[in-house]
Amino acid sequence: MPAERLKPEGPGTAEPAASGLTPEEAFDALYAQAAPDLVHQTFLLTGRRALSREAVERAFQQAWQRWPEVAVDADPVGWVRAAAYEYALSPWHRLRRAHKHPDAPPAEAGRRGQELLSALLELPPPYRRTVLLYDGLGLDLPDTAAETEASTPAAANRLLHARTVLGRKDPDLAEPEELHRRLNALVAEEPVADLPAARAVRTGSEHRTRTWTRAVVGVTAVLIAMTGFTAVTAPTRYVPVNAPGETVNGVPVRGGPEKLRPEDVELRDRLRSEPNPGPERLIPVAG
């Protein structure tokens, strides 16, 4: 199975629609053509067979939900491939016990293929994806950068770094031609995957869409009900709340002047009752 077959050209992908196929028939044809290869490619990215099948199935469900867009895309296989890779490389899968550890490499890959697969899985996911697309599937650098949502210089740097790391694992892989040959051979191996039927994928996609629609409608209805209840029961004016007094312990004694003595009180009353702003006020009177 040559790697070039995994990325059909634009006119070829539009042929099912032009030949008068129904959307279901066109989807089923795309699924039969691309799904097994995508499962095999996703396994090379993740090393997990169950996750690879799940990622491809989820990607085709998304494709069926957006089939009017996918059907007219210049590269429908690339559309599904990007969705499958994105789902498979999500960091959330590390929290799932079933996908915590990679599966054993397939025996049919041979010793060198198993070593290359193990070395690939040690690369960071963006670098792993870049080298698979460029050296494995034969995409050019701009297309690789676009599919990995990176700039062309960033994709080139990832590719060079990945080749350097793989070359340290196996000196033969330091040569781009040898890496391309061995990775291309690993990609072109006959994929073995127990996939659900295309009709089951379409049915699952429709069921998922209905479930999400009902969930959104339910949440919207709850929000509307809560908003209405709040509007009915909310007070129309502000009502201040008088908190009851409580005993407070640990507060220091209030500071201030000492209590006046009787002679101080007499002097104060005399000053208040006999105001005299002149200088005489400052002359003491003998008692």
Entry pTM: 0.67
Burial class (CB in 10 A: 0-12, 13-18, 19+), 252: exposed
How distant is the alpha carbon of residue 138 from its chain centre? 28
pLDDT at 67: 92
Longest dimension (CA), the chain: 129
CA gap 56, 62 in Å, rounded: 10
The DSSP code sequence of 80-126 is: HHHHHHHHHT-GGGGG-GGGSSPPPPPGGGHHHHHHHHHHHHTS-HH
Residues with Cβ < 8 Å from 227, sequence gap 6 or more? none
pLDDT at 80: 95
Q: Long-range contact list for 32-36, CB < 8 A, 24+ apart?
A: 32/198, 33/8, 33/77, 34/6, 34/76, 34/77, 34/80, 34/81, 35/60, 35/193, 35/195, 36/191, 36/193, 36/195
Query: pLDDT of the chain along its 287 residues, tens only?
Result: 333 333 433 333 444 444 578 989 999 999 999 999 999 999 989 888 888 999 999 999 999 999 999 989 899 999 999 999 999 998 877 767 666 666 666 666 677 778 888 888 889 999 999 999 998 898 999 999 999 999 999 999 999 999 999 888 888 888 888 888 888 888 877 667 678 888 888 888 777 788 888 888 888 989 998 888 888 888 788 878 887 777 777 777 666 777 888 888 888 888 888 766 665 555 566 65
